[in-house]
Amino acid sequence: MRWNNLFDDLEGQLEHELGAEEVDLRGEEERLRLGRLSMRDRLQSLHEACGAREYSLRIALRDGAIIRLRPLGFGKDWMSADLLDETTRRAQVIVPLESVASIILDRDQVAASLAARPGDGSRGLSARLGIAFVLRDLCRRRSPVDLMLVGGTLHGTIDRVGREHCDVAVHEPGTSRRESGVTQYRVVPFGQLLLVRM
């Protein structure tokens, strides 16, 4: 009878140790998964968790400005969004992820941003397109844009896009790009871009 108690006790200890080891293993796997998350991954997880529900994010840019936006899509190093400000007019913007100083989240948004996504959503075409691709498209369309830079804002039309910079013909807001209306030409490194408003 005492042997049965001893074996039961040993069996219980073994089950407890195996369970604790499994919990430790799951904890380590979760820490590894979280360690591999990029800011883009977290933003995309949050976007997918919110789905069609109306939500907005507050983002602090490198220059200290805080903007409120509703993300629409994600590229390799940028996101497109509706800019939500005090005016009733919404503007679409491109935000280089490099320009984000911090993302201001509530408790639920933090949890949603950390959620594991089924499969790898970063394999789509847009996930491989960098900011230069988007700027080249705006250049091709001859769309007037506002470029919010670290040192101020420019209004103009993108003339050319290089590997890490773009040429901007600066002109008055509300006017088309005409050679006679261009006041100056600027070569802008992508590292100075905070936001592109279309």
Task: Please give the pLDDT value at position 88.
Answer: 58
> In the CATH hierarchy, which fold is given to the domain comprising 39-197?
SH3 type barrels. (2.30.30)
Contact partners, residue 71, CB within 8 Å, separation at least 6: 43, 47, 57, 79, 80, 81
pLDDT at 5 over 80: no
Contact between residue 173 and residue 127 where contact means Cβ atoms under 8 Å apart = no
Give me the amino acid identity at 178.
R
Axis crossing angle, helix 39-50 with helix 107-114, rounded to the nearest 10: 110
Q: What is the pLDDT of residue 36?
A: 82
- The share of the chain scoring above pLDDT 70, in percent, equals 81
Higher pLDDT, 11 or 140: 140
35 pLDDT band (50/70/90 cuts)?
Answer: confident
pLDDT at 118 over 70: no
> Domain-by-domain residue ranges, the chain?
1-36, 39-197
- The yes-or-no verdict on residue 109 having pLDDT over 70 is yes
Q: Find out whether 156 and 171 touch, Cβ atoms under 8 Å.
A: yes
pLDDT of residue 6: 60
The answer on pLDDT for 4 being more than 70 is no
